[in-house]
Chains A and B, each alone.
Chain A
């Protein structure tokens, strides 16, 4: 995953990045197993958006309509927020996993 316009790529400057241009835009790397960031965001935002924003329009009229709409919106908000936190926390890792040498031997060839 490469940064787009990061003036501190060399890691020598001590000033903070000037603006939020640091958000990477999901350009796929050349390796086969690269993960984009934009695709999951779009997929999950659409998914929970359908449930939380579009869903309430389709709830049939009845005494429980209000409660069902509340449930849909609350579910969408909670689950989307939770997923978003998980993916944002892993977006720019500051350190990597520390593996035992046995694990490295095994995984090196397993996860090609």
Chain B
């Protein structure tokens, strides 16, 4: 049978790698992804390991790569994915790659720096041009008047000073737009009356070289007189970080300056263009080099990190590594090592060593079984070689989901959605979608497929298709017969709004509906009374069956681990307890279904009362027995179940203690032979590696470790209490199957009654009704998908998962193992 039933056999293998070939061997192992390295230098810090220098160099290279990558991204280019098979490069290539990368990085930095400088210069020139080019009316006009005139005499007589310089001077510059108002205010307050300032917005936007944002600067022209005012103005403009440019008074000189500026900026733009062309060339080279380089260096670093986990042999001729490897892959491992170390002369060797630690669990899955194994592993990865619940979960999980979700229409929608995803799974567009929610649905497409399929089946059994029942077969209830025999005239019917069909009347009940629930119940006002009883009993039956299956699976565990005493001391009492009490309940349910008819309906016994009385050893006089001898049978069953509790509690611990005492009395001679047998016969060439072998392997705990009695008893007591109380609570927990299917059915019913029926029952003309139906159907469809498919689907998924994780798995699964995570270069995409 396939290896999904329990994990594969995993062995601890010791590798002897000759120093010269160690790198190649490990790199080949990484390509294959077969083995998991154990860290032999766990006590050594990361800085003291052997290959720390190489790891550092790789990391520095990675930093340079990151810088280059960032530059490429900033330029808006994309890095192509690496093509072809790129193995980890040999150590001597590291220097070459490092040189190339550093050169590229240096060039890139230089060119970038130049580009920034040129841009800044251009920016300044453009500002200057703009300032000179702007026409500021009044101050210029005022400048043309010669000398001070009476109009321009200051309001206050100027303070008598030695030298009245009334020559008008100009300060021209540019200021950021949001500072312009503040600047104007401050200038006016500080130099009131002694200046005229004119602010104007530039016509074109300039792109800021640093941030890249287009801004519109305000150019200003201040005309002032007086040297001190001039100094004040310059200080203020310096404060506001304005760019101030020399402003020549003469128009002609200004034009000349403008022309010169224009020429300069043109030249600068040419140089800038050249620089940018060179930059894109460099970026092109980076694009070529980077993907392959990144991959190679990543692999190299991984190889060195793996090598750091190996220990050095005493002769310093080889490295010793301990790896976990699946037994099935051992021949491949030997082959790979031989091939990698053939050129060195001395071959690398691998051989099994015994180990007391628990090996990791390895279960191989394909894309169908992977999602089911995933949901089992999400709770806990199985212990080494314990029974794996996943192959049963493939069917029972969608089935329990479907019990809670049962509706043909909804199931069909879910199935079609999943089918679309499955049929298109190989298209690259599917894998390229980055949306996490979509990835979740896509990863579980096989899960959804089965869930939808089973939901269609349970929908047929519940006889619900978008909450409507179908009459595939004719109903088993005849209303006509009831009406005829009870004399239901039209007048009688008019007086009674609801009437019961009595199965005692002949011809009314014609037999059970052959496939599912009779469609008459969907027309009945008391349908919940029937359905609740049916679904509750169904939940209990399914629950007891599921749990009993879980206990039976534990048998395989006990047999595999050679603990056959547990079969008698644990599995048998557990089964007796579970089936004696709850199996008996199932029996009562089925018995009542088979043997009590409508004739006895007035006096039909209540199973619940019987069950309660069974535990209390009492009786209710009004509740008649289901069969003769019921009391005796129940009494025996309860006593038997109670008797299993001490067996469960004390059986295994006493047995283990007795075994231990017997072993201690036996002479301790036979132990060493066992260890020798576990080591495979080594090759002759290995004789050099003698002393290292003895140091290998895990910590040598004695196989007969001291069993602490109190611990065993405690552990067993917890297990017993958990099982016995769990039986009751877990059985009740399965009632959620009833609860959720009821909720789904009711939601479905409400949606139909409140939405679709409104459109279908409206008393409008046919044409109008048809038009009305369109938006109402749209609302119905949207709410069906959002509430019933997504919300109820998630809810039923969650509860089915809980039933598996807790109620089913705690009967046999311990789930405290760890996965084999092989040393591999493949990056996890999922």
Q: Any chain B CB within 8 A of the CB of A60?
A: no
**Nearest chain-A residue to B595 (Cβ)?**
A22
**Chain A residue contacts of B392, Cβ below 8 A:** 70, 74
Number of A-B contacts (CB under 8 A): 236
Q: In the assembly, what is the distance between CA of A37 and CA of B515, in Å?
A: 11
Q: Any chain A CB within 8 A of the CB of B500?
A: yes
**Chain A residue contacts of B605, Cβ below 8 A:** 16
* In contact, A67 and B503 (Cβ under 8 angstroms): no
Cβ distance B25 to chain A, nearest Cβ, rounded Å = 29
Interface size on B, residues (CB 8 A): 88
**Nearest chain-A residue to B545 (Cβ)?**
A81
Cβ distance A7 to chain B, nearest Cβ, rounded Å = 11
Q: In the assembly, what is the distance between CA of A92 and CA of B592, in Å?
A: 9
Question: Which residues of chain A in 1-34 are interfacial with respect to chain B, using CB atoms and an 8 Å cutoff?
Answer: 1, 3, 6, 8-11, 14-20, 22-23, 26, 29, 31, 33-34
**Chain B residue contacts of A86, Cβ below 8 A:** 461, 516-517, 534, 538
* In contact, B628 and A18 (Cβ under 8 angstroms): yes
**Chain B residue contacts of A66, Cβ below 8 A:** 1-2, 4-5, 391
* In contact, B494 and A101 (Cβ under 8 angstroms): yes
**Most chain A beta carbons < 10 A, residue from B476, B481, B533, B593:** B593
Contact A36 B511, CB 8 Å, known A9-B599, A82-B403: yes
* In contact, A95 and B480 (Cβ under 8 angstroms): no
* In contact, B511 and A37 (Cβ under 8 angstroms): yes
**Chain B residue contacts of A37, Cβ below 8 A:** 511-512
Binary A-proximity of B506-548 (CB < 8 A = 1, otherwise 0): 0111111111111011011111011001100110011001000
**Nearest chain-B residue to A39 (Cβ)?**
B514
* In contact, A97 and B497 (Cβ under 8 angstroms): no
Q: In the assembly, what is the distance between CA of A94 and CA of B604, in Å?
A: 8
* In contact, B509 and A23 (Cβ under 8 angstroms): no
Q: Any chain B CB within 8 A of the CB of A78?
A: yes
Binary A-proximity of B541-566 (CB < 8 A = 1, otherwise 0): 11001000000000000000000000
Q: In the assembly, what is the distance between CA of A91 and CA of B481, in Å?
A: 19
Contact A78 B498, CB 8 Å, known A33-B510, A40-B514, A89-B593: no
Q: In the assembly, what is the distance between CA of A87 and CA of B525, in Å?
A: 21
Contact for A92 among B2, B395, B490, B597, CB less than 8 A: B597
**Most chain A beta carbons < 10 A, residue from B369, B473, B510, B624:** B510
Q: In the assembly, what is the distance between CA of A99 and CA of B761, in Å?
A: 20
* In contact, A71 and B524 (Cβ under 8 angstroms): no
Contact A98 B526, CB 8 Å, known A22-B594, A93-B598: yes
* In contact, B391 and A67 (Cβ under 8 angstroms): yes
Q: Any chain A CB within 8 A of the CB of B423?
A: no
**Chain A residue contacts of B604, Cβ below 8 A:** 94
Cβ distance A52 to chain B, nearest Cβ, rounded Å = 11
* In contact, B499 and A89 (Cβ under 8 angstroms): no
Cβ distance A97 to chain B, nearest Cβ, rounded Å = 3
Q: Any chain A CB within 8 A of the CB of B148?
A: no
Q: Any chain A CB within 8 A of the CB of B87?
A: no
* In contact, A85 and B596 (Cβ under 8 angstroms): no
Cβ distance B610 to chain A, nearest Cβ, rounded Å = 11
Contact A109 B480, CB 8 Å, known A85-B541, A97-B526: yes
Q: In the assembly, what is the distance between CA of A50 and CA of B677, in Å?
A: 48
Q: In the assembly, what is the distance between CA of A103 and CA of B475, in Å?
A: 14
**Chain B residue contacts of A97, Cβ below 8 A:** 477, 500-501, 520-521, 523-524, 526-527, 530
**Chain A residue contacts of B512, Cβ below 8 A:** 35, 37, 40, 87, 90-91
* In contact, B594 and A23 (Cβ under 8 angstroms): yes
Question: Which residues of chain B in 578-617 are interfacial with respect to chain A, using CB atoms and an 8 Å cutoff?
Answer: 590-591, 593-605
* In contact, A99 and B523 (Cβ under 8 angstroms): yes
* In contact, A67 and B2 (Cβ under 8 angstroms): yes
**Nearest chain-B residue to A88 (Cβ)?**
B593
**Chain B residue contacts of A105, Cβ below 8 A:** 490, 493
* In contact, A108 and B479 (Cβ under 8 angstroms): yes
Q: Any chain A CB within 8 A of the CB of B478?
A: yes
**Nearest chain-B residue to A40 (Cβ)?**
B514
* In contact, A71 and B395 (Cβ under 8 angstroms): yes
* In contact, A95 and B503 (Cβ under 8 angstroms): yes
Q: In the assembly, what is the distance between CA of A75 and CA of B508, in Å?
A: 35
Contact for B2 among A15, A65, A95, CB less than 8 A: A65
Q: In the assembly, what is the distance between CA of A93 and CA of B526, in Å?
A: 13
Contact A94 B596, CB 8 Å, known A99-B499, A101-B494: yes
Q: Which 10 A-B pairs have the closest CB atoms?
A: A35-B511, A97-B524, A66-B1, A96-B501, A74-B395, A66-B2, A22-B595, A40-B514, A94-B601, A90-B512
**Footprint of A on B, CB under 8 Å?**
1-2, 4-5, 366, 369, 391-392, 394-396, 399, 403, 457-458, 461, 473-483, 488, 490, 493-494, 496-503, 507-518, 520-521, 523-527, 529-530, 533-534, 537-538, 541-542, 545, 590-591, 593-605, 624-628, 630
- Could you list some 9 contacts between A and B, CB below 8 A? A15-B624, A16-B624, A33-B510, A78-B399, A94-B604, A98-B526, A100-B525, A101-B496, A111-B480
Given contacts A34-B511, A90-B512, A96-B503, 5 further A-B contacts (CB under 8 A): A18-B627, A20-B591, A81-B545, A82-B403, A105-B493
